[in-house]
Amino acid sequence: MTATVTSMAGKSTARYRTMTWVWRAVAVLFAAVTVFPVYWMVQSAFEPNSEITSLTPSFFPLHFTLHDFVDAIDHTAGVGTAYFWDDARNSLFVVGTAVIVTLVFSFMAAAAISRFRLVGTTAFLVMILVVQMVPGTAMLIPVYLLLNGLHLTDTYLGLILAYSASTLPFTVWALKGFVRGVPIELEEAAMVDGASRLGAFFRILLPLVLPGLISSGIFAFITAWNDFVVANVFMTENFRQTLPVWLYSFSTNTGTDYGGLMAGCTIMSLPVVIFFLIVQRRIVSGLTAGAVTG
Amino acid sequence: MAAPTLPNLAPTRTQRLVPTPPSEVRHNQTKGNWRRTARRQLLPLLLVLPALGLLGFMTLYPLGRLIATSFQNLGAFQLIQHKVQWNGLANYRSLFTSTELGTSVLQTFVFVTACVGLTMTIGTGVALLLRRIGNVLRIVVSVCMVLAWAMPTSASSVIWTWLFEQEYGVANDLLTQLGFHFTDHNWFGSEISAYSIIVANIVWGAVPFVAFMMYSSFTLVPRDLYEAAAIDGASPAATFRGVTMPIVRPIFVLMTVLSIIWDANVFNQVWYLTEGNAQMLNVIPLGVWQYIEAFSNNEYGLGAAVAVITILLLLAVTGYYIRIMVRTGQVKAAART
């Protein structure tokens, strides 16, 4: 009995080992395919144009150059391409403000939902779920009509409102989970020591959910930073647009300047990649927690 | 750079396996005293109000207005003159009598199915793969995936256009070097081939998230269940079906539903990869179609009707999921905490 078990185990261990090597090879291949587009972006961004428009692409930049970045930032050839600095500033301002608005609003809502037995909380949460299911592009028409009627198109306020509203459902849902993770006793202790209810929220709860605020904030930042379609519809003036719109007009106006384009992509992606590396772990664990426990 | 990029799910596991901690039981008792001092509903209401107001103003009201607009004749003229011109079911009638709607719905269905199917299959496969490879390799694969995941869709679409560029693109060169004749191959010459690249771009960007989520959900499966399955002589496939899948199903379903919404909603990839000339593709997904009707043709009413149809189709799929969440008390449970 013992003999058969061990011999079976021995056989399957050998097979297991070979299979492990097969899986490792598959993993390496998968990693290479996954990272290749990113690698290609960076390498094209540092390549002179002569190498980019060569019929046999080289896999490393033979002559390292920063010329593509200058090209991307100072490009003046076509309409709407010379606005890199304007659009970068707009992106930072609009997205930054939207993130702050979203975070403040959703922290308050999450605290209220988690710490009080508020009438209609279930309805509010169902509404948030349903709203999240409505595709963003479908909301584009009515939101445009609404803001157009209020003369808020071509204003930063309109864009800020649109981004805050579109990220709010997720941040409320996520922050609710984070607030729940903080023991209520800590706030009770503060209140025993004389803090008000609101004071306990801002002095005790707020610092403790800071990690949650940071990761939800970065989620909101990435969503708004990546948006092209809303900014493209709402903002008609070149100097009021955002970086994705700039990238788009750059790509349609310059056509084949792929060096400059890849430099532009690199600049645009950099803040997102940095933020992403910071929070990636939290986004996943936060969502799985929500899926399993509600 | 953060060295180990693997998701850490320790808190989730405790939440799942450990019964309600005593602190939460007490929390419910003390809550009664709390509310009396906290002027009952006023403070929480004030706290929820800004979020509720923003959602009401920017989402709920527009949603109603979208439905209203779909029954109106709203073009550039009416928009400038601020005229409301109801035209009953005319928008829907013209949609349902045209052949475009049918093909667009079918195309969206095939497109979304391809994206979601590939994303979920590859994502789950990679998650399983991550368990079989060593720590070092796992970190390498994770870093690669995070980089792909983090790329903004607008940038990644431009990159994919460049990869598959006709003359100087690296894809044609690589394929030619591998012995296939792909020199000067125009990937955007036919719709099937153009959409294949759009799907590849979307799947490439979506797999990392699904893979990380599934990988971390696998850690929820108690190890002794695997041991029991191994003692019973279950094959790996049977173990996956009988042990792993039942436990990770909620996350798998959530990922599928989210992917359906995201992929039905795809805009940037289609728009950039066809260089803003989505009409060049004869068949376009619903999300792009309503954009073109509204903002290229200035037919806001018609665009709104397409959007309403899109929402209804999506709700038919995702409503099922929401209903399960409401019925199994997950929303109520979330409200109670």
Q: Tell me if chain A has a CB within 8 Å of the CB of B7.
A: yes
Output b/e per residue, A90-119; b: 16+ Cβ within 10 A.
bbeebbebbbebbbebbbbbbbbbbbbbbe
What pLDDT shows up at residue A109? 94
* pLDDT tier at B16, thresholds 50, 70, 90: very low
Q: Is B52 helix (H, G, I), strand (E, B) or coil?
A: helix
Return the closest-CA partner of residue B289 out of B275, B304, B272.
B304
Q: Which of A104-108, A264-268, B202-206, B333-337 has the lowest mean pLDDT?
A: B333-337
Q: Tell me if chain A has a CB within 8 Å of the CB of B307.
A: yes
- pLDDT above 70: residue B166: yes
Q: Is residue B169 part of a domain?
A: yes
Q: Is residue B102 part of a domain?
A: yes
Chain A positions touching B275 (Cβ under 8 A) are 251-252
Contact check, Cβ <8 Å, A272/B58: no
Rounded CA separation A138/A153 (Å): 18
Cα nearest neighbour of A26 on chain B: B129
User: Can you list the domains of chain A with their CATH numbers?
Assistant: 2-70 (no CATH), 83-255 (1.10.3720.10)
Is there a contact between B198 and B161 (Cβ–Cβ < 8 Å)?
no
- Using CA atoms, how far residue A232 sits from A60, A159, A251, B16, B185, in Å, is 35, 10, 14, 44, 32
What pLDDT shows up at residue A260? 84
* pLDDT tier at B123, thresholds 50, 70, 90: very high
pLDDT tens for B125-160 read: 999 999 888 888 998 999 899 889 889 998 999 999
Chain B positions touching A183 (Cβ under 8 A) are 23, 27
Kindly state the helix (H) or strand (E) to which residue B208 belongs, with its residue range. Answer: helix B191-218
pLDDT tens for A143-173 read: 999 999 999 999 999 999 999 999 999 899 8
What pLDDT shows up at residue B95? 93
- pLDDT above 90: residue B113: yes
Please state the three-class secondary structure of chain A as a single string. CHHHHHHHHHHHHHHHHHHHHHHHHHHHHHHHHHHHHHHHHHHHHCCCHHHHCCCCCCCCCCCCCCHHHHHHHHCCCCCCCCCHHHHHHHHHHHHHHHHHHHHHHHHHHHHHHHHCCCCCHHHHHHHHHHHHHCCHHHHHHHHHHHHHHCCCCCCHHHHHHHHHHHHHHHHHHHHHHHHHHCCHHHHHHHHHCCCCHHHHHHHHHHHHCHHHHHHHHHHHHHHHHHCCHHHHHHCCCHHHCCHHHHHHHHHHHHCCCHHHHHHHHHHHHHHHHHHHHHHHHHHHHHHHHHHHHC
Find the distance separating the first CA and the last CA of chain A, reported in whole Å. 47
Number of domains chain B contains: 1
* Residue A254, min C-alpha distance to chain B (Å): 12
Is there a contact between A268 and A91 (Cβ–Cβ < 8 Å)?
no
What pLDDT shows up at residue A282? 65
* Residue B243, min C-alpha distance to chain A (Å): 16
Q: Which of A127-131, B204-208, B327-331 has the lowest mean pLDDT?
A: B327-331
- pLDDT above 90: residue B210: yes
Q: Is residue B153 part of a domain?
A: yes
Token pair belonging to B15: 């939440």
* Residue A12, min C-alpha distance to chain B (Å): 11
Provide the number of CB pairs (under 8 Å) joining chain A to chain B: 360
Residue B101's domain comprises: 97-336
* pLDDT tier at B211, thresholds 50, 70, 90: very high
Contact check, Cβ <8 Å, A141/B304: yes
What pLDDT shows up at residue B173? 87
What pLDDT shows up at residue A291? 47
Rounded CA separation A143/B2 (Å): 39
Average pLDDT, chain B: 83
Kindly state the helix (H) or strand (E) to which residue B35 belongs, with its residue range. Answer: helix B22-37
What pLDDT shows up at residue A83? 80
Chain B positions touching A169 (Cβ under 8 A) are 55
Q: Tell me, what CATH number does B175's domain have?
A: 1.10.3720.10
User: In chain B, which among 250-279 make CB contacts under 8 A with chain A?
Assistant: 250-251, 254, 261, 264-265, 267-268, 271-272, 275-276
Mean pLDDT of the B271-279 span: 77
Mutate which: B159, B291, B314, vs A, most A CBs within 10 A? B159
Contact check, Cβ <8 Å, A277/B1: yes
pLDDT tens for B244-274 read: 888 888 888 888 988 998 898 889 899 888 8
Q: Is residue B84 part of a domain?
A: no
Mean pLDDT of the B309-320 span: 86
Return the closest-CA partner of residue A154 out of A248, A268, A233, A244.
A233
Is there a contact between A117 and A251 (Cβ–Cβ < 8 Å)?
no
Is there a contact between A154 and A235 (Cβ–Cβ < 8 Å)?
yes
Q: Is residue B111 part of a domain?
A: yes
Contact check, Cβ <8 Å, B158/A289: no
Q: Which of A121-135, B203-217, B293-307 has the lowest mean pLDDT?
A: A121-135
Is there a contact between B164 and B154 (Cβ–Cβ < 8 Å)?
no
pLDDT tens for A99-148 read: 999 999 999 999 998 888 888 888 888 888 888 878 788 899 999 999 99
Q: Is residue B77 part of a domain?
A: no
- pLDDT above 50: residue B22: no
pLDDT tens over chain A, length 294 residues:
444 444 445 557 888 788 888 999 999 999 999 999 999 999 988 888 778 777 777 777 777 788 788 777 776 555 545 688 888 999 999 999 999 999 999 999 999 988 888 888 888 888 888 888 787 888 999 999 999 999 999 999 999 999 999 999 989 988 888 888 888 888 888 888 888 888 888 888 888 888 888 888 888 998 899 899 999 999 988 888 899 998 888 877 766 678 888 888 998 888 888 887 777 666 666 555 544 443
